[in-house]
Amino acid sequence: MSTDQTQAVERPPEAAPPPAGHEARFWSPRRAPAALVATLFLVTSAAFLYDIAAVRAHHPAMHWRRALARQLATRPLDDTWVLVGAGIAAALGAWLLTLALTPGLRDVLPMLRSHPDVRAGLRRDAAAMALRDRAMEISGVRRVRVRLNRSRAHVLAVSHFRELDEVRADLDTALTGAIHGLGLAHPPRLTLNVIRPGRKG
């Protein structure tokens, strides 16, 4: 006589994904501005280092540094070129600070996490195309234009038959489901307009 034994295997609890609306945007690597700043800093530092080393070796300072020192010593602070240079430097600094403090990659919309260690994003044009294809499946829709940003999905549909209210209701239901089906962390709000095609001539 045999007895069947069943052994229960306990699995470690999986970490729950963050709730909707808590996913941050993807950060852009900003390679071009970083390379530009690094190149300018390297060239400027190398030029000043070479000139200082030449002066320490009892050689005359380079002409550009003598001219720069003379201009800085003789020009008043309210001079036009001084103000222009200060404005350009301030604008470049503000630009660099903006790049450093903002994530960028506005074309990539963050998606909900199905696993805590995996992040996914959906390109804005791909999401707009998915909504357009879903709208074209509605009877009576002739043409659709979709503009998608982080907060809103603007849809303009042209209907050549059926009542506009019926087409609008079907589109609202279909597109609302399609937006939630995209799995975005911040689902955009739907703005829907349905019109008749314009008359030719």
Task: Average pLDDT across each block of 10 residues of the chain; the chain has 201 residues. List them in order.
Answer: 40 44 73 86 89 85 82 83 90 87 84 84 93 95 93 94 93 95 92 84 45
Please tell me the predicted confidence (pLDDT) of residue 50.
87
d(CA 112, CA 186): 8
Please tell me the predicted confidence (pLDDT) of residue 118.
83
Please tell me the predicted confidence (pLDDT) of residue 3.
43
Please tell me the predicted confidence (pLDDT) of residue 182.
93
Under DSSP, the state recorded for 14 is: P
Neighbouring CB atoms inside 10 A of 43's CB total 10
Please tell me the predicted confidence (pLDDT) of residue 13.
40
Its pTM stands at 0.62
- Determine the straight-line distance between the first and last CA of the chain, rounded to whole angstroms: 93
Please tell me the predicted confidence (pLDDT) of residue 146.
96
β-sheet bridge partners, residue 156: 145, 193
Please tell me the predicted confidence (pLDDT) of residue 9.
36
Helix/strand/coil for 166:
helix
d(CA 187, CA 191): 13
H/E element holding 93?
helix 80-101
Q: Please, are residues 158 and 197 in contact by the beta-carbon 8 Å criterion?
A: yes
Please tell me the predicted confidence (pLDDT) of residue 37.
85
